[in-house]
Structure 1
Amino acid sequence: MPRSSQAAWQAALVAVLGVDGWRGAWVGARLDGRRVTLLVLPDATAVLAEPDVEVVSIDMPIGLSDDGARECDVLARRRLARAGSSVFPAPVRPVLSAGSYAEACEVARTASGRALSVQAWNLVPAVRSLDAALGVPPDDRVVEVHPELAFRALDPRVAAPKATARGLAQRVRALEPVMDVLDALADAPERVPAADALDACAAAWSAQRLAEGRAECLGNGSTDRLGRPMRICW
């Protein structure tokens, strides 16, 4: 086999992991070539312990600002236009120590001049768990992604909300050319919602692009005080 062909073949065999938060746990999509396997992972430590994966792409904020909005969130909402509401503003880092929503809002106002949204507060336990698992310095295999950016890159026809039949079908259609998504859904762990499974698959496609050096990212190149990039890739 010619060296260039062998290198391409080996790259195609690199396993990656896409992850989406789900009910205090995580749905993982392990992608190896076209084959994708859906997993339920109990916590962030289990996500990072998944063996033999080149990249872990997570639909969860990683690099956190101390005092205001992240440029990557602003750019992602702008890029997604009508679907921009799916990008929740990441909590500022000081909020991770808050014990209640009221305290979180007070901390957020002090740090950034704005209260925390309920949606962002609901993300805090998962963000806190992931933040602790990443350690310092952070694991550079782990990259923040957003599934809606991936779906629209795969197929611009993806437009309907993911909770609808039309939105579900549009996302399956977008993924079918790049992975065996129907087989993965047919063998999914019990009770895993289709929308979360598809988001994890989209994250896995983003991870594959990152592993191959083909990914796109939004952000201004800044990092947070722990050295974690404030960016969103796909």
Structure 2
Amino acid sequence: MGEPRVLGVDACKAGWVGIAVSDGPPQAYVAASIASLIDQARRLGPLDAVAVDIPIGLPDTGRRTADVSARAAIGGLGSSVFMTPVRPALEAPDHPTAVLVNRRLAGEGISVQAYGLRRRVFEVEQYVRDEPQLVIEVHPEVCFAHMQGRPMTSRKSTWAGVVNRHRLLSENGIDLAGELGLAGVNVGVDDVLDAGAAAWTARRYAAGRAMSLPDPPEIFSDGWRTAIWA
């Protein structure tokens, strides 16, 4: 039996970018919606798991244990993990209202960036409702830290950070060589590397080797088994 076929997904300016891995070279996909991206990847065969860098499961009050654990796991780069807002905050009509709601229910405000992700969060949530066993949540820096055996020290926006992350992926069988068919597409280097890291965890998850933060996952009122996987 060959390797499972999986997809790692990250948001990008073009929408979503995915890296599919199995026995052969990685394949890259780009689409405006998560559903279209997964449909593209499935044209070459079924997927055993999809890992996406977006929160799945929103807290009712306070912080998610998944976010707190992920921030601790990546050490000095912990600021790259934002604390997922409570559901009513993301449902608020504007950012100032969301800040007030989150302060009331979680004891802290939320950034413009976190509030701005609400469309993507609800897009993925809607997709997961249809295929709850297929899609898991990841954070790329947690993935890279587990690949390396310790937290990364260089940010992905630096040359050293890019080189080290590319090397780690290659050493783990995800060689993102060449342009991957992404010429002319609005996808950043960090987006592709993060999608590759997500694919690494998706492969581990499909093989039953992934670990969850927390273990066992939390369950909020929305019913999702909420965890960040690596």
Question: TM-score, normalization: structure 2?
Answer: 0.89
Residue of 69, 73, 79 corresponding to 1:79: 73
How far apart, in 2, do the equivalents of 1:41 and 1:217 lie?
Answer: 28
- Whether contact under 8 Å (2:48, 2:206) holds in the other structure is yes
Q: Percent identity?
A: 34
AA at the equivalent of 2:68:
V
How far apart, in 2, do the equivalents of 1:42 and 1:128 lie?
Answer: 14
AA at the equivalent of 2:124:
L
> Is 118-127 or 159-168 further displaced after alignment?
118-127
Residue of 196, 200, 216 corresponding to 1:201: 196
RMSD of aligned residue pairs (Cα, Å): 1.9
- Whether contact under 8 Å (1:39, 1:189) holds in the other structure is no
SS at 1:128 equivalent: helix
Aligned residues: 223
Question: Cα distance, 1:48 vs. partner?
Answer: 4.4
Question: TM-score, normalization: structure 1?
Answer: 0.88
How far apart, in 1, do the equivalents of 2:115 and 2:14 lie?
Answer: 14
Structure 1 stretches of 4+ moved >6 Å: none
Which consecutive unaligned segments of at least 5 residues does structure 1 have? 1-8
Question: Cα distance, 1:33 vs. partner?
Answer: 2.4
Q: Describe the superposition over 1:137-167 as per-residue Cα deviations: whole angstroms up to 9, x where unpaired.
A: x622110011111112212484211011110
AA at the equivalent of 1:188:
L
Indicate the residue corresponding to 1:20 in structure 2: 10
Residue of 175, 180, 205 corresponding to 1:210: 205
SS at 1:222 equivalent: strand
> Is 54-63 or 24-33 further displaced after alignment?
24-33
SS at 1:20 equivalent: strand
AA at the equivalent of 2:20:
R
AA at the equivalent of 1:54:
D
> Is 223-232 or 178-187 further displaced after alignment?
178-187
Indicate the residue corresponding to 1:5 in structure 2: none
- Whether contact under 8 Å (2:17, 2:37) holds in the other structure is no
Indicate the residue corresponding to 1:182 in structure 2: 176
Residue of 213, 224, 228 corresponding to 2:224: 228
Indicate the residue corresponding to 1:150 in structure 2: 143
How far apart, in 1, do the equivalents of 2:181 and 2:38 lie?
Answer: 23
Residues 1:128 and 1:196: Cα distance change in structure 2 (over 3 Å): same
